[in-house]
Amino acid sequence: MDMVSVCKTDEVAPGTSLRVEIDGLPPLAVFNVDDEFFVIDDTCTHGDASLCDGEIEDGQVECPWHNARFCIKTGKALTFPAVVPQKTYVVRVLDGTVHIEKND
Ligand code: FES
């Protein structure tokens, strides 16, 4: 199991997100929800919108294009028009750096 460094924790303030591009992975969205970090695919499963451009509220992110809402923790599509969940990643925070586990 590989761990991949994604960003520094201080790059993502509480209530915000950061889009990160890493070779070999789709664009990632890092969210800080009350100082807990979550990483999901950034590209909305309904289209090509970047979820990092969406509104964050109550642990959910709203897609900026057609307003589907996703659970940041589980990736679940909560409202139409999205029905396919966002891929989520296992996150480890070590020494001020956000890492994800890469399974391949
Ligand atoms: S692109 Fe996200 S809801 Fe349509």
For 34-93, the pLDDT digits (tens) are 999 999 999 999 999 999 999 999 999 999 999 999 999 999 999 999 999 999 999 999
Q: Can you give the pTM of this predicted structure? A: 0.96
Q: Which residue from 42, 43, 46, 69 has its CB within 8 A of the most atoms of ligand 1, so it is best to mutate?
A: 46
Distance CA 37, CA 42 (A): 14
CA of 62 to the centre of ligand 1 (A): 9
Pick the residue whose CA is nearest to atom 1 on ligand 1: 47
Within 10 A of 53 (CB to CB), how many other CB atoms are there?
16
CA of 51 to the centre of ligand 1 (A): 9
Domain count across the chain: 1
CATH of residue 87's domain is 2.102.10.10
List the domain range (segments joined by +) for residue 94: 2-102
Does the beta carbon of 78 lie inside 6 Å of ligand 1? no
